[in-house]
Amino acid sequence: MAVRLVKRLIKAKPTIEGAGVHLHRAFGFGSTSQFDPFLLLDDFRNEDPQDYLAGFPWHPHRGIETITYMLAGTVEHGDSMGNSGVIEPGDVQWMTAGGGIIHQEMPKGNADGRMHGFQLWANLPASLKMTAPRYQGVKSSDIPEVTDNDGTRARVVCGKFWGETGPVEGIAANPVYLDITVPAGKRKTFPVESKSQAFAYVFEGSGKFCDASTPLAVPTEGVMWWDTKPHAEEDNRTVVLFDKGDEIIVQAGAEGIRFLLISGRPLREPVAWYGPIVMNTQEELRQAFEDLQNGSFLTKSEKPKQTV
């Protein structure tokens, strides 16, 4: 087995999106090649309703999939075709925008005013850019959770992991989306499909991932990575981008560590991106905005399927 080394560490940056939602952007709106097929990851957590209640009013999407995963509070959503629903704590909504959808997402806090969730954008290949939109709404109770002998837990949202298969299916990039918790002081190895791009996003606790990059020397034969001088711990709101290989190793810190582990097959296609629309060429991008202006945006694909 080949351990994936750490290629890059990124601290999520505060930003404001929608009508004034304060969040942290882990990555996005830059070079897409390192995270291909993924485009963007936002961490929206807040305890002040004034920083999120304005939400994300009506806006279009084309050419991508948006994956919303809630931990606290809720998100009420609706679209221009009359579909609606509520994403509750532990739930996931995997929305394939395809050829075009116009929707809104309005977050609400829990009884204490706390709201926490993630939104990941995944690119669609050229062959599916104009496919019919659809939703896959998954309740928390339908997401399998596996607990290992040492107390390590993994929620399997999408893909196959430790003998379980996540409920989200039929996704072009063959992704695996996991919510992993490793207890304090434990060292754990996790398999990752060798042909997939992979990253972790640490959002609770801290820990160290296998790394032989500068300033560490590459371990010599017989010397394990944890015997070398370690880099600073990856802590809250840190993206860990991995190099090639088929497994990752994490050493949990004193408070344990919780992170998303996400991987998918790269599309290796050109990206033309502006705001909520991602196509392959500038001409396709221009056409999308023309469609918005002339009222034909939604008629380019079939009516979205009803939410769950």
- Whose tokens are 């918005």? That residue is 292
Tens-digit pLDDT profile for residues 89-121: 999 999 999 999 999 999 999 999 999 999 999
Total number of domains in the chain: 1
Q: Would residue 166 count as lying in a domain?
A: yes
Cα separation values, 158 from 9, 29, 90, 136, 170, Å? 24, 24, 14, 11, 10
* Best mean pLDDT range from 22-36, 225-239, 281-295: 281-295
Amino acid at 197: Q
pLDDT for the residue numbered 81: 78
pLDDT mean over 69-87: 93
Lowest mean pLDDT among 23-37, 49-63, 94-108, 186-200: 23-37
What is the structure's pLDDT at 100? Answer: 94
Does the residue 182 lie in any domain? yes
Q: How far apart are CA 8 and CA 109, in angstroms?
A: 33
pTM, 2 dp? 0.90
Q: Is the pLDDT of residue 29 over 90?
A: no
Residue 292 lies in a domain: no
What angle (nearest 5°) sits at the alpha carbon of residue 204, between those of residues 203 and 205?
130
Using CA atoms, how far residue 162 sits from 44, 105, 147, 180, in Å, is 29, 33, 9, 12
Asked if the bond preceding 37 is cis, omega within 30° of 0, the reply is yes
Share of residues in the chain with pLDDT > 70 (%) = 89
Closest by Cα among 178, 58, 177, 73 to 122: 177
In a domain, 81, yes or no: yes
CATH number at 201 reads: 2.60.120.10
Domain assignment present for residue 301? The answer is: no
Amino acid at 60: P
Structural domain containing residue 246: 6-264
Query: Has residue 121 been placed in a domain?
Result: yes
- pLDDT bin (cut points 50, 70, 90) of residue 301 is low
Q: pLDDT tens digits, residue range 134-192?
A: 999 999 999 999 999 999 999 999 999 999 999 998 887 889 999 999 999 999 999 99
pLDDT at position 211 is 60
User: d(Cα 87, Cα 107) in Å, to the nearest integer?
Assistant: 9
Tens of pLDDT, residue by residue over 201-251, are: 999 999 999 864 333 333 333 333 333 334 456 778 999 999 999 999 999
φ/ψ of 224, rounded to 5, equals -85, 155
